[in-house]
Amino acid sequence: MKNSLFLSVFSFLLFIISSCDDSGGKATVTCGNDRVDQGEACDGNELGAATCESLGYRQGQLACTATCEFDLSDCASWGRCGDGILQDAVEQCDRFQLGFATCGSLGYHDGELACDEDCTYDTSGCEDAGICGDGILQSEFEACDTTVPGTFTCESAGRWSGNPSCTDTCEIDFSTCAGFCGDGEFNAEFEDCDPLVPVTTTCAELGTWYGEVGCTSGCGFDTTACREVEAIDLGPNSVYAIDSAGTAFGWGGSDGGVGQPVLQHYATPMPITIWPGLTFIDIATMDMHSCALDGNRNAWCWGTNASGQLGDGTTTLSYEPVAVRMPNSVYFTSITVGYDHSCGLGMDGTAFCWGAGSSGQLGTGGTGSSSQPNMVSMPSGGVKFTKFATGFQYNCAIGTDEQVYCWGRNDSGQLGLGNTTNRTTPMPVVLPGVSFTDVACGSASTCAVSTTGAVYCWGRNDTYQLGLGDNTIRLLPALRTEPAGIAMSTVAVGAGHGCSVSTTGRLWCWGFNNSGQVGDGTTSTVTTPLEISMPGNRLVQGLAAGTYATCVRLEPGQLACWGFNSQGQFGTTDLKVLSPVLVAGP
């Protein structure tokens, strides 16, 4: 009976259990019990360890649905890497979305930018093109990279010293260089001047005569306002010069004046003004009158005029320049002055003279005087003159046939004709086989330079003014012995001395030297040519010999003089200047 009761109870319980289990023998899942059961992502507020971030979203509030699945709606509003939507605040890129980024915007020079799976830039497609700062110079895109190429220096950028640097953007930075043209500081080691600093260097210090030195934008001297000496001539106590702007100057003293309105002696150059803007191209003097040729090739003269040597149609003295009565349609290329006559060379090579003619110096075939220009009786055969020189009362010229022609006074054989007879028309100086390029007349001595650079002299020679080594008069041209290997290009003759310039620009002088006019530092007579040193060893470009003085034009345009200095015209207080000195401009 007991056994039957036990079996009945067991069977009842088994029935009850079977009635409650509909899982087929599996565990029961109950969603909503706030417990994550098997098969649930979440349950109520129970999310396990999951968050928006752990599920790949940027941020947000993860929730659980009524079916115990994650509610991602808030997470999704913040985005996730790989959704193809660029979240600028937290992503560099997202799949194909790169924003405005390119290889170039990232500093690379070229290439194709991509996006990695973690939404960061994939620059592998940019790197082959290079980037500023990689130490590799990409000259197409960079001026420098880390270091500056050797071709770029402070000096190449117009700076004086230092070393340029390379910026983070691969540009050359010259701010580390010291000094530059126009910085307002003068640096003598690197620049002649600075445009912002007053220039203290003078035109004379740069080798010209006078003017004001400026400064170019490149910090070099601007010498456009500097004036050079172009033409010079000497009287017994006066000097005349024309500068490179065509302004004529006279200074010193003369009984005929120096081109100023009143008779006065001047120790410094005074401009000779006829009217504003009128320029000059040639100037000449000898004793008490002078003449100049203006830029229009008309002649002007001033000084004593007893013989009509001023050419204005009168015999009235004038301290100021008066216009020469030019023949119709005649214009001069050069002008010369003797003791009491004057001459001009026409543009066609025909000569004209005026003033005293007592020795036949006017070349008209007679001995009468004329107060206005008369045409010289030219040599036969159509010969014209190319160069003209005037002495005390005579003239010589170089013909188009390269021969010397002389006329006028001949008491010392200065015409080179073998006698002492005056001539009233041009006569050829016969020297077979020799051609000439230059001729000069003194008081009564003449020298000419041949086409080979040899010098022939003739005439008066009592003070060794012919440079032949003796003081014997020469009625015919005598070949002078020049220093070995020296060829001359031009010559000048004074009252008792002479000088010539070699083809290399060196000066040689000889003759009477009582006032230092030879320039060798003494007052001893020099019988043969002696080389004379110039200030700064400069070359000679022009030459004039006066009565007792000599002046030269030095390259590139200064004036140097020596000899008798009675009016202080050479810029010193010495009565006799024994060696060449630079003469200051106005």
- Kindly report the CATH number assigned to the domain that includes residue 519: 2.130.10.30
The total domain count for the chain is 2
- Structural domain including 586 reads 431-586
Q: How far apart are CA 503 and CA 501, in angstroms?
A: 7
Residue 442 shares a structural domain with residue 536: yes
Residue 504 shares a structural domain with residue 373: no
Residue 122 domain flag: no
Q: 383, 415, 439: which is the final residue of a domain?
A: 383
Residue 377 shares a structural domain with residue 491: no
pLDDT at 1 over 70: no
Query: How high is the pLDDT of residue 29?
Result: 63
Q: Is the pTM of this model over 0.85?
A: no
**Residue matched to tokens 């997202």:** 94
Query: How high is the pLDDT of residue 208?
Result: 96
Question: Which residues fall within 8 angstroms of residue 384, CB to CB, at 6 or more apart?
Answer: 348, 349, 350, 378, 399, 400
| Residue-wise pLDDT tens digits, 166-181 | 999 999 999 889 899 9
Residue 457 shares a structural domain with residue 576: yes
| Residue-wise pLDDT tens digits, 491-526 | 999 999 999 999 999 999 999 999 999 999 999 999
| Residue-wise pLDDT tens digits, 279-305 | 999 999 998 999 999 999 999 999 999
Q: How far apart are CA 49 and CA 51, in angstroms?
A: 7
pLDDT at 475 over 60: yes
The token pair at 303 is 């000084």
Query: How high is the pLDDT of residue 105?
Result: 86
Residue 31 domain flag: no
Residue 379 domain flag: yes
Q: 383, 418, 453: which is the final residue of a domain?
A: 383
What mean pLDDT comes out for the span 557-578?
A: 96
Q: How far apart are CA 340 and CA 250, in angstroms?
A: 19
Residue 186 domain flag: no
Q: 315, 350, 383: which is the final residue of a domain?
A: 383
Residue 435 shares a structural domain with residue 584: yes
Query: How high is the pLDDT of residue 516?
Result: 98
Residue 343 shares a structural domain with residue 473: no
Residue 448 shares a structural domain with residue 379: no
Question: Average model confidence (pLDDT) for the chain?
Answer: 92
Residue 454 shares a structural domain with residue 561: yes
Residue 359 domain flag: yes
Confidence of residue 28 (pLDDT cuts 50, 70, 90): low
Residue 371 shares a structural domain with residue 448: no
Confidence of residue 12 (pLDDT cuts 50, 70, 90): very low
Query: How high is the pLDDT of residue 96?
Result: 86
| Residue-wise pLDDT tens digits, 320-330 | 999 999 999 99
Query: How high is the pLDDT of residue 15?
Result: 40
Beta bridge partners of 173: 165
Residue 255 shares a structural domain with residue 362: yes
Which amino acid appears at position 484 of this protein?
A
Residue 529 domain flag: yes
Residue 415 domain flag: no
| Helix, strand, coil fractions of the chain, as percent rounded to 5 | 5, 35, 60
Q: Phi and psi for 205 in degrees, rounded to 5? A: -65, -20
| Residue-wise pLDDT tens digits, 60-107 | 899 999 899 989 889 888 888 888 888 777 888 988 888 888 988 888
What mean pLDDT comes out for the span 24-41?
A: 76
Residue 298 domain flag: yes
pLDDT at 8 over 80: no
